[in-house]
Amino acid sequence: MNQVNRYLIASAIFLGLLVSSSFGAGKVLLIGSGAPDAKDAPLIDKLKKWGFSVDPHGH
């Protein structure tokens, strides 16, 4: 994964966490192919450990 993709993903995660925390929903939307990809599993596990529910959606 190149540096630009990492920056975009990190920005999307930060924005999702910021929005989730400000509304108190505790839910993060994972935008991608619709089904979680195997490479997304570590991210999903980390978010779930932090108490968020992860909802995958297609782009």
Q: Would the pLDDT of 25 be above 60?
A: no
Question: Whole-angstrom Cα distance, residue 9 to residue 44?
Answer: 13
Q: How many CB atoms lie within 10 A of CB 3?
A: 7
Is 52 in contact with 42 (CB distance < 8 Å)?
A: no
Q: Is the pTM of this model over 0.95?
A: no
Q: What are the φ/ψ torsions at residue 5 (nearest 5 degrees)? A: -65, -40
Q: Which is higher by pLDDT, 57 or 19?
A: 57
User: For residue 3, what pLDDT is reported?
Assistant: 72
Checking if the pLDDT of 19 tops 70, the result is no
Residue 46 has pLDDT above 70, yes or no: yes
